[in-house]
Amino acid sequence: MLLKDRISIVTGGSSGVGRGIALEFAREGARVVVADKQEAPLRGKYHETDVTTPTVEEIEKLGGEAIFVQTDVTDESQVERLIEQSVRHFGGLDILVNNAGIHIPGGAQDISIAQWDQVVGTNLRAVFVATKLAIPHLKGSEYGRIIQIASVHAYGGGAGPAYAPAKAGVVNMVRDTAIEVGEFGITVNAICPGYIETSLQDYLTQEMIDAVAEKTALPRFGKPRDVGRAAVFLASDDAEWITGASLLVDGGLITGT
Ligand code: NDP
């Protein structure tokens, strides 16, 4: 097991990519705090249409240990409580995964300024807040890891004027934080997924899904597990000298665009 007894927090862990990461962490022996606004998994129009079991229950079925802490990551007092509760329950913190994120489709003339704030608040500001509040605890770990879930859209436009800049901000924040916490042996990396089979993709039409799959070198959407395995690697001892990096997990989507 690559993460035996490591204590991890996965935000947005009830559904989609976060659930995939939480399950793979548990398979590798990690203890997982699932932090999300609600415990029930989201069900998508195309993907995850029949998911019903909460992540914690699924982890317990695997013989793992997990707790759910209801958290809105945009509220710093809730994030503070999440971290305190996690440390108190499991006795420390080794791995923080900032995965919770939202996407509001539409261009600059479609989305409101309040929606822009909402997307950047969740996808960038909240990543900073959880990272800031977790670092003092990660300093006490021999295996401190911060993994930020960005996106291929960090490298190009096309996902709206809030989502893409927020994800680009995450990629650069990773580099900055890596420098700051390197002396404590904490690594900080991003994963940049391509299109993954989650309910976040409900806004697409079937034609758009087919077109994306077609221009992907490995021609399919990713699965939450694909991102989960990359996160396991970055959290494991195998990645102890990798920091400030952004790992594309996109099936070769942007190599061809
Ligand atoms: P989903 O919408 O399937 O799941 C996101 C989860 O995060 C949901 O459980 C959602 O809960 C939760 N969440 C949203 N806002 C908050 C909040 N403020 N506080 C706590 N939890 C919250 O999305 P994905 O799994 O697809 O996305 C996960 C991450 O991966 C995001 O950062 C996204 O940008 C990134 N990503 C996804 C890609 C994809 O193709 N799916 C591609 C590239 C990146 P609720 O809905 O109840 O609010």
Q: Quick check: 257 pLDDT over 70?
A: no
SS (H, E, C) the chain: CCCCCCEEEEECCCCHHHHHHHHHHHHCCCEEEEEECCCCCCCCCCCCCCCCCCHHHHHHHCCCCEEEEECCCCCHHHHHHHHHHHHHHHCCCCEEEECCCCCCCCCCCCCCHHHHHHHHHHHHHHHHHHHHHHHHHHCCCCCCEEEEECCHHHHCCCCCCCHHHHHHHHHHHHHHHHHHHHHHCCEEEEEEECCECCHHHHHCCHHHHHHHHHCCCCCCCECHHHHHHHHHHHHCHHHCCCCCCEEEECCCCHHHC
Q: pLDDT (tens digit, 9 = 90+) per residue, 237-252?
A: 999 999 999 999 999 9
Tell me if 30 CB under 6 Å of ligand 1: no
Q: Are residues 170 and 120 in contact, defined by beta-carbon separation less than 8 angstroms?
A: no
Q: Are residues 86 and 34 in contact, defined by beta-carbon separation less than 8 angstroms?
A: no
Residue 171 CA to ligand 1 center (angstroms) comes to 17
Residue 99 CA to ligand 1 center (angstroms) comes to 7
Q: Quick check: 229 pLDDT over 80?
A: yes
Of ligand 1's atoms, which has the minimum distance to the CA of residue 227?
30
What's domain 7-256's superfamily in CATH? NAD(P)-binding Rossmann-like Domain (3.40.50.720)
Q: Are residues 94 and 29 in contact, defined by beta-carbon separation less than 8 angstroms?
A: no
Structure tokens at 160: 């709206």
Q: pLDDT (tens digit, 9 = 90+) per residue, 21-79?
A: 999 999 999 999 999 999 999 999 999 999 999 999 999 999 999 999 999 999 999 99
Q: pLDDT (tens digit, 9 = 90+) per residue, 99-111?
A: 999 999 999 999 9
How far, in Å, CA of 219 to CA of 141, rounded?
Answer: 40
Residue with CA at minimum distance from ligand 1 atom 12 = 12
Q: pLDDT (tens digit, 9 = 90+) per residue, 5-18?
A: 999 999 999 999 99
Tell me if 98 CB under 6 Å of ligand 1: no
Token look-up 């927090």 returns 9
Q: Are residues 34 and 56 in contact, defined by beta-carbon separation less than 8 angstroms?
A: yes
Mean of the pLDDT values across residues 216-231? 98
Q: What is the model's pTM?
A: 0.98
Q: pLDDT (tens digit, 9 = 90+) per residue, 176-193?
A: 999 999 999 999 999 999
Residue with CA at minimum distance from ligand 1 atom 10 = 12
Q: pLDDT (tens digit, 9 = 90+) per residue, 155-172?
A: 998 899 999 999 999 999
Q: Are residues 111 and 104 in contact, defined by beta-carbon separation less than 8 angstroms?
A: yes
Mean of the pLDDT values across residues 219-232? 98
Tell me if 100 CB under 6 Å of ligand 1: yes
Dihedral, 43, 47, 52, 54 alpha carbons, nearest 10: -90
Q: Are residues 188 and 146 in contact, defined by beta-carbon separation less than 8 angstroms?
A: yes
Residue with CA at minimum distance from ligand 1 atom 36 = 151
Residue 25 CA to ligand 1 center (angstroms) comes to 18
Mutate to test the pocket of ligand 1, among 14, 36, 55, 56 (most ligand atoms within 8 A of CB): 36
Q: Quick check: 121 pLDDT over 70?
A: yes
Tell me if 17 CB under 6 Å of ligand 1: yes
Q: Are residues 186 and 157 in contact, defined by beta-carbon separation less than 8 angstroms?
A: no
Of ligand 1's atoms, which has the minimum distance to the CA of residue 20?
25
Q: Residue ranges per domain, the chain?
A: 7-256
Residues identified as active-site: 163
Structure tokens at 91: 């006795």
* pLDDT score, position 211: 95
* pLDDT score, position 40: 97
Q: Are residues 159 and 165 in contact, defined by beta-carbon separation less than 8 angstroms?
A: no
Q: pLDDT (tens digit, 9 = 90+) per residue, 82-92?
A: 999 999 999 99
Residue with CA at minimum distance from ligand 1 atom 31 = 101
Structure tokens at 236: 């494991």
Token look-up 């994030």 returns 79
* pLDDT score, position 54: 98
Tell me if 131 CB under 6 Å of ligand 1: no
Q: Are residues 250 and 192 in contact, defined by beta-carbon separation less than 8 angstroms?
A: yes
